[in-house]
């Protein structure tokens, strides 16, 4: 059984996958204005791999930026 932590990326890895700067993802989290939302694990932002994949497969990334 996978834990929630294993199905996520930290902010730096998620930013690299999305070709964005980590600060952009932090802004999305802080202002709650981005196309995906993070979860917090031990007080740190983590981004669901499934959300990142959906975004890369044609979700609204371009319209949100």
The pTM (predicted TM-score) of the whole model is 0.80
16/60: higher pLDDT: 16
Q: State mean pLDDT over 15-26.
A: 97
CATH code for the domain of 24: 1.10.1660
Task: Please name the residues in contact with 17: beta carbons below 8 A apart, sequence gap of 6 or more.
Answer: 9, 52, 56
Q: Examine residue 19 and state whether it is found in any structural domain, yes or no.
A: yes
Q: Examine residue 49 and state whether it is found in any structural domain, yes or no.
A: yes
| 10, 46 Cβ separation under 8 angstroms | yes
Residue 5 has pLDDT above 80, yes or no: no
Q: Give the domain range for residue 28.
A: 4-59
User: What was the pLDDT predicted at 36?
Assistant: 95
Q: Examine residue 65 and state whether it is found in any structural domain, yes or no.
A: no
Q: State mean pLDDT over 32-37.
A: 93
63/57: higher pLDDT: 57
Q: Examine residue 25 and state whether it is found in any structural domain, yes or no.
A: yes
């Amino acid at each position: 059984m996978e834990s929630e932590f294993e199905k996520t990326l930290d902010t730096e890895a998620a930013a690299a996958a999305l070709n964005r700067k980590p600060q952009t993802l932090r802004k999305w989290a802080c202002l709650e204005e981005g196309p995906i939302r993070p979860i917090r694990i031990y007080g740190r932002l983590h981004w669901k791999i499934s959300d990142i994949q959906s975004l890369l497969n044609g979700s609204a990334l371009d319209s949100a930026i």
